[in-house]
Structure 1
Amino acid sequence: MNYIKILLFLTLFTFFSGCKKDEYKEFKKVPEYITQPDRAHKAYYEAYDKTLKKWGVAYEDLYITTSKGVAHVLMSGPRDGTPVVLLHGMSASSTMWYPNAKALAKHFRIFAIDLIIEPGKSNKTADFKNIEEVTAWYEEIFWALKLDSFHLIGTSRGGWIATDIALHSKRDIKSLILLSPVQTIMWIPPSTDLLKNIFNIFHSDKEAVERTMGTLSKNASKIDSDYMAQYRLGLKNDTEDKFLPQMKPFSNSELQSLKMPVLVLIGDDDMFNTKHTIHLTEKYIPRGRGEVISNSGHFLSVDQPEVVDKKMVDFMKNVEKAD
């Protein structure tokens, strides 16, 4: 009889211990600004969801209340996977990771955060005074998600912010990956492409977007049409660029203080970086290495997604093995 009780106890213990509670249940209630959007945002949210059909892997929407409003996060990947935080670029949203989400989520649990001062599904209710408050806002999200240790990936302006987080966060940043970071390792070099973007003010919105994409991508025709439709709608929403003057390249001493493994990838036709970026990365970042991705521009994660995905995954896997 005692044997049967023990066996029953072990069976029940195994069953209930295997049923993990939904640790992010409190963040899955969809806020009213999403369910009942105004006319201007309704079309954008529909376009956002249409782009997500290209995500390539199951995802969950999380809505986290912060001191500046509601943060929207896309979560994918195995529950027991090492967390990877994704920071998108300027004038974009987390949907820009549509070419990369499937490959990353196969091995890691990814959290793609919509920056609240950019188009996306985050909703700002309070202003930011400076770029330091933007970094602090991300810390609120890490705390809410209980992300104490994770890999961090940032692209373009997201690369600058990711570096700032890595420099100041008290959390365990296992590795830092920067995809064509802007104003991070070096100053933006003068170029005809840069001049072309400045003169976009003399063109219609449609022409300006096409001209811009032509300078950012090696092959703009590869960019998904649904994403482009979402991007155009997003430009009608506010993107706060008042912090751009504060985004200056980090000093040599700051780069030297980055102790985690760092991977910097740039395109061979990158408007914001040159091989000098790679030189500085490997000279000043103790565990830094850089590579130039052939046949790609600033949007290297779109221009060469398979190559970039493999380099990112291999890099993070090697960091995991070394731990």
Structure 2
Amino acid sequence: MADCRPRVLAIRSFFAVYDDLVDRLWPSSSVDSDVVTSFGTTRVHRLGSGDETPFVLLPGSGGPSLMWHAYVGRLAASRPVIAIDPVGEPGPSVQTRAIDNGDEWSLWLDEVLTGLDVGQAHLVGTSYGGWIALRHALRSPDAVASLTLLDPGGFGKVSPTFVAWIIACGLASFAPRPVRRALARPLRNLALRDDEAMPLVKATFGFRRKHIMPTPLTDDDLERITAPTLVLVGGHSQLYDAGEIAAVVTARMPRAVAEIIPEASHDLVLRHPDELAARIVTFAAATRACPR
């Protein structure tokens, strides 16, 4: 029998760092709970109050909902916020069944929101979380009040360039602090300059993730997404050619606005969170005046 001790120690190390960062970065007003789904138990964090349609935050692959810590206070000032830790990712959620396609990711999200008695939500997602949001808008259009997507997956195949960038950033995260911080610029990844979060980034390597790659949505898929949509793409995105994606969004999605953030790469969610949070709030508020 394989020795499980290294994996157990890695998980313990992750949660030691995770709990410390939650205590220091996440609002103490957060109300946490677990929702049982057919794919496992999902941890959710609820903030804010009122009867407005909530924001639902979906992180990128490899990052727990803690990655939204710089956003949640600003967002919760305008309407309730639900930050979700996806199953199968580093964090407190526990996956018990594989998710094999985009429809099953949508089903998982539907079960989470049904368990929370949320009939409709403003979905906010980055990277892999953006792809999940797109898949949910495609499968359950009435459940999505709006989409705000920050350099999301789903608009093309994951390229070898992007995979190489992920590997390079992973290796850079283990470099000595001065080297790591210096590499942030050529690699275009602000996370490498975040001394506070870097221990958590390193600790995530103790988790084994087996999620599928985000499959591209077809032109027909995009034309069927009727929710008001704001797509923000990094001008230096390692995932796509920003101009091509903005053109596709504008041409194919009937109620979408695309904008290129020139200085950003796939690290867009880490850049100017106060400004981006304000954009998210304004966009969601504007959808009330534009019924389908």
TM-score (norm 2): 0.85
User: Aligned partners of 1:208 and 1:116: how far apart in 2?
Assistant: 32
Superimposed CA distance per residue, residues 144-175 of structure 1 (whole angstroms, 9 cap, x where no aligned partner): 01111111111101111110011002643110
User: Aligned partners of 1:282 and 1:48: how far apart in 2?
Assistant: 39
Does residue 1:289 correspond to 2:257, yes or no?
yes
Paired position in structure 2 for 1:231: 201
Cα distance, 1:217–1:111 mapped onto 2, change above 3 Å: farther
Picking from 9, 19, 28, the partner of 1:49 is 19
Query: Within 5 A, what are the aligned runs for 1:156-167?
Result: 156-167=127-138
Cα distance, 1:256–1:93 mapped onto 2, change above 3 Å: same
Give the SS at the match of 1:152. Answer: strand
Unpaired runs of 5+ residues, structure 1, are: 1-37
Bigger Rg, structure 1 or 2 = 1
Paired position in structure 2 for 1:253: 220
Aligned-CA RMSD value: 2.7
User: Aligned partners of 2:210 and 2:16: how far apart in 1?
Assistant: 22
Superimposed CA distance per residue, residues 104-146 of structure 1 (whole angstroms, 9 cap, x where no aligned partner): 1111211111111111110123333444333211111111011
Q: How many pairs are equivalent?
A: 279
Task: Give how far 1:44 is off.
Answer: 2.0
Task: Give how far 1:194 is off.
Answer: 5.2
**Structure 1 letter corresponding to 2:239:** F
Paired position in structure 2 for 1:263: 230
TM-score (norm 1): 0.77
Paired position in structure 2 for 1:185: 155
Picking from 273, 284, 287, the partner of 1:319 is 287
Does residue 1:64 correspond to 2:35, yes or no?
yes
- Percent of matched pairs sharing the same residue: 27
Does residue 1:154 correspond to 2:122, yes or no?
no
User: Aligned partners of 1:299 and 1:139: how far apart in 2?
Assistant: 28
Cα distance, 1:215–1:163 mapped onto 2, change above 3 Å: farther
Deviates more, 1:69-78 or 1:225-234: 225-234
Paired position in structure 2 for 1:109: 80
> Contact conserved, 1:218 with 1:303, CA < 8 A, in 2?
no
Task: Give how far 1:55 is off.
Answer: 2.7
Deviates more, 1:87-96 or 1:208-217: 208-217
Cα distance, 1:179–1:233 mapped onto 2, change above 3 Å: same
Superimposed CA distance per residue, residues 207-266 of structure 1 (whole angstroms, 9 cap, x where no aligned partner): 49959966774534553x33221121122111124x11xx22211111011111010001
Does residue 1:302 correspond to 2:273, yes or no?
no
User: Aligned partners of 2:143 and 2:184: how far apart in 1?
Assistant: 36
User: Aligned partners of 1:68 and 1:221: how far apart in 2?
Assistant: 33
> Contact conserved, 1:222 with 1:302, CA < 8 A, in 2?
no
Picking from 53, 61, 65, the partner of 1:94 is 65
Cα distance, 1:169–1:295 mapped onto 2, change above 3 Å: same
**Structure 2 letter corresponding to 1:105:** A
